[in-house]
């Protein structure tokens, strides 16, 4: 196959890795009853005329298992950060202490845990769809290569290779979802 047409499976793998990284970021933002600085990552604050992540406006700490603190560097931003946290839908009530915003993490009730597992399942489904779209792109490359003169044996080899890569990543998404749902349902 040295002079044959090849499909760039490295690019497909890199894109699927990106879908997995995005899923892990979304999972980190889900509250599981334990304090985590990652839960604040998706929250953006309108600071100085542009949307800015909270960790660029102050120091985020987890001093206790059920408490996140944010030490805001600029006093003028305290109100905006507090407002962004309230509007984020995390279900956390910020408490102000000067330039420090304290976020006590309440226990999750059974209904909220079930809601969070559904949200996690939606995130996983988005990742699966992304991976399938990447697979479709790979299969389209193979079809174009076939019209450009790829042999039928090579076509079957590359299709099997792309499908194997897709199956591996879908299995990885399912394993990540199972782990996250178990973590959420843990009391």
Domain of 140, CATH number, reads 1.10.132.20
pLDDT band at 4 (very low <50, low <70, confident <90, very high): low
- Is position 144 within any domain? yes
Strand partners, 155: none
The residue among 104, 130, 154 that closes a domain is 104
Q: 152-185 and 9-29 helices cross at what angle (nearest 10)?
A: 10
Strand partners, 102: 69, 95
* Structure tokens that stand for 66 in this block: 């059920």
The residue among 82, 104, 126 that closes a domain is 104
- Is position 76 within any domain? yes
Q: Residue 61: which domain range? A: 34-104
Residue pLDDT, tens place only, 22-68:
898 888 777 666 777 777 877 888 888 898 888 888 999 988 888 88
- Is position 133 within any domain? yes
The answer to whether residues 100 and 70 touch, using CB atoms and an 8 Å cutoff, is yes
In sequence order, which residues have a C-beta less than 8 Å from that of residue 44 and are 6 or more positions away?
51, 52, 53, 54, 84
- Is position 167 within any domain? yes
Q: Does the predicted model carry a pTM greater than 0.95?
A: no
Same-domain pairing of 99 and 113: no
> For 34, phi and psi rounded to 5 degrees?
-110, 145
């Amino acid at each position: 196959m040295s002079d044959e047409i090849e499909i760039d499976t490295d690019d497909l793998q890199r894109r699927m890795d990106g879908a997995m990284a995005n899923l892990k970021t979304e999972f980190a933002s889900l509250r599981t009853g334990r304090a985590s600085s990652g839960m604040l990552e998706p929250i953006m604050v309108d600071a100085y005329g542009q949307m800015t992540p909270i960790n660029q406006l102050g120091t985020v700490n987890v001093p206790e298992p059920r408490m996140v603190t944010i030490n805001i560097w600029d006093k003028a931003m305290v109100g905006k950060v507090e407002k962004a946290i309230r509007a984020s839908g995390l279900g956390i009530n910020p408490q102000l202490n000067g330039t420090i915003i304290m976020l006590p993490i309440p226990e999750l009730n059974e209904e909220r845990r079930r809601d969070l597992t559904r949200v996690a399942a939606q995130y996983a489904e988005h990742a699966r769809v992304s991976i399938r779209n990447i697979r479709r792109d790979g299969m389209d490359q193979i079809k174009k290569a076939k019209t450009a003169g790829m042999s039928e044996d090579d076509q079957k080899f590359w299709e099997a290779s792309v499908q194997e890569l897709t199956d591996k990543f879908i299995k990885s998404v399912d394993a990540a979802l199972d782990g996250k749902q178990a973590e959420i349902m843990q009391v």
